Amino acid sequence: MEAGCCYVPLMRIVVTAGPTREAIDPVRFISNRSSGRMGYAVAEEAVARGHGVVLIAGPVALADPPGAQVIRVTTSEDMLAAVGNALESCDALVMAAAVADWRPVTVSAEKIKKSRIPPVIRLEPAPDILKTLRPRKGGRIFVGFAAETGNPLPEAVRKLRDKGLDMIVANDVSQADAGFDVETNRCTLVTGEDEAVALPLMSKMDVAGRILDWIEKRRAG
Ligand code: PMT
Contact 95, 145 (CB under 8 A): yes
In a domain, 52, yes or no: yes
Per-residue model confidence (pLDDT) at position 136: 97
179 within ligand 1 shell (Cβ under 6 A): yes
171 within ligand 1 shell (Cβ under 6 A): yes
Mean pLDDT of 116-128: 94
- 34 CA from centroid of ligand 1 (Å): 9
Q: Which domain CATH number covers 63?
A: 3.40.50.10300
Using CA atoms, how far apart are residues 142 and 120, in angstroms rounded to an integer?
37
Q: Which residues contact 137 (CB under 8 A, 6 or more apart)?
A: 164
Given a cut of 50, whether residue 97 has pLDDT beyond it is yes
Number of domains forming the structure of the chain: 1
What is the atom index within ligand 1 of the atom nearest the CA of 144?
28
Task: Give residue-wise pLDDT tens across range 65-79.
Answer: 999 999 999 999 999
In whole numbers, what is the pLDDT of the chain averaged over residues?
95
Given a cut of 50, whether residue 138 has pLDDT beyond it is yes
Mean pLDDT of 39-63: 98
In a domain, 168, yes or no: yes
Using CA atoms, how far apart are residues 145 and 19, in angstroms rounded to an integer?
13
Contact 107, 30 (CB under 8 A): no
97 within ligand 1 shell (Cβ under 6 A): yes
What percent of the chain has a predicted confidence (pLDDT) above 70? 96
In a domain, 140, yes or no: yes
Q: pLDDT band for position 192 (50/70/90)?
A: confident
Q: Whose CA is nearest to atom 10 of ligand 1?
A: 96
What is the atom index within ligand 1 of the atom nearest the CA of 148?
21
205 within ligand 1 shell (Cβ under 6 A): no
The secondary element (H helix, E strand) that includes residue 115 is none
Q: What does pTM read for this prediction?
A: 0.96
In a domain, 4, yes or no: no
Mean pLDDT of 32-58: 98
Count the Cβ atoms, other than its own, within 10 Å of residue 217: 11
Using CA atoms, how far apart are residues 201 and 75, in angstroms rounded to an integer?
31
In a domain, 154, yes or no: yes
The secondary element (H helix, E strand) that includes residue 16 is strand 12-17
Q: pLDDT band for position 176 (50/70/90)?
A: very high
Per-residue model confidence (pLDDT) at position 5: 60
Distances in Å between the Cα of 22 and the Cα atoms of 27, 141, 154, 169 are 11, 28, 28, 25
Return the active site residues.
Answer: 32
In a domain, 146, yes or no: yes
In a domain, 6, yes or no: no
Burial level of 8, CB count in 10 A (0-12/13-18/19+)? middle
- 117 CA from centroid of ligand 1 (Å): 29
Tell me the residue range of the domain where 210 lies: 12-220
